């Protein structure tokens, strides 16, 4: 799924499309919310518990209605907690579109790629490319960091306890200040896909050592034009989802 930095940058675009966005004092909560479904990284929850979307099904309804049905009090939130949930909803909408438009057709089991490990790495390489493009505006990401570092959605959100929320806020703050380079990305892939970060398999080692070449292959396969189109579609989908929550 799209990485943390990309989610925050997209959430900002959604606010611009909406016109009347979150008040300045709640921007940090909104941006933190746009990352929060990935809190499962530290809680170890199943994905369905944070994204409300079942990846095992060939077709699954949007997780936003299920989220609101599961926690109906979220419809009554105001202020900082509501800003957080608007951000949360942008994340759900973007991830669902990624599954539909990118992951399944290009990297999933119905794609033309038969090597599952290689397909997963290619998916991650494309995400890295997208995230790195957003992070070229270092001043913007510094502003994201400053907003998120001060964010405090409060207890009203309810389904995330505050100690866990604060731990996640620190994780996101650290991510927003990272320099997206190949060395860091290679180390991340080692931790994500290989036991204890050790690459025992020579084929896998070669793949990780030649990531820039693999990126060229990925962009020939998916095309930069498709990436740009996905970004626009994601912003539109997320904007519509937030409008639905507000109505």
Exposed e or buried b for every residue in 185-211, given b needs 16+ CB within 10 A?
beeebbeebbeeeebeeeebeebbeeb
pTM over 0.85? The answer is yes
User: What is residue 70's predicted lDDT score, i.e. its pLDDT?
Assistant: 94
pLDDT band at 39 (very low <50, low <70, confident <90, very high): very high
- Interval 40-94: pLDDT, tens: 999 999 988 899 887 777 666 789 999 999 999 999 999 999 999 999 999 999 9
Q: Which residues contact 57 (CB under 8 A, 6 or more apart)?
A: none
Q: What is the mean predicted confidence (pLDDT) over 180-187?
A: 89
- Interval 91-144: pLDDT, tens: 999 999 999 999 999 999 889 999 888 999 999 999 999 999 999 999 999 999
- Among the listed residues 69, 72, 63, the one whose alpha carbon sits nearest the alpha carbon of residue 91: 63
Which token pair is 204?
Answer: 């896998």
H or E stretch at 219: helix 211-222
C-alpha count within 13 angstroms, C-beta hemisphere, residue 39: 23
User: What is residue 195's predicted lDDT score, i.e. its pLDDT?
Assistant: 57
């Amino acid at each position: 799924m799209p990485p943390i930095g990309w989610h925050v940058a997209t959430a900002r675009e959604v606010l611009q499309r909406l016109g009347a966005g979150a008040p300045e004092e709640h921007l940090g909560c909104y941006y933190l919310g746009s990352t929060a479904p990935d809190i499962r990284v530290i809680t170890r929850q199943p994905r369905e518990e944070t994204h409300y979307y079942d990846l095992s099904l060939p077709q699954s309804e949007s997780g936003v209605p299920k989220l609101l049905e599961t926690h109906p009090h979220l419809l009554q939130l105001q202020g900082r907690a509501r800003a957080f949930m608007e951000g949360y909803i942008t994340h759900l909408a973007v991830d669902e579109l990624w599954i539909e438009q990118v992951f399944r057709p290009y990297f999933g089991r119905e794609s033309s790629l038969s090597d599952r490990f290689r397909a997963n790495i290619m998916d991650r390489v494309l995400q890295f490319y997208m995230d790195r493009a957003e992070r070229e505006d270092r001043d913007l990401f510094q502003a994201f960091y400053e907003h998120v570092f001060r964010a405090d959605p409060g207890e009203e959100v309810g389904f995330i306890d505050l100690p866990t929320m604060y731990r996640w806020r620190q994780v996101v703050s650290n991510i927003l200040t990272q320099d997206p380079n190949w060395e860091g990305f290679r180390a991340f892939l080692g931790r994500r896909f290989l036991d204890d970060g050790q690459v025992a398999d020579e084929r896998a080692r070669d793949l990780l050592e030649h990531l820039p070449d693999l990126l060229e292959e990925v962009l020939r396969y998916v095309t930069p034009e498709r990436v740009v189109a996905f970004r626009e579609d994601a912003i539109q989908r997320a904007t519509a989802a937030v409008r639905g929550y507000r109505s």
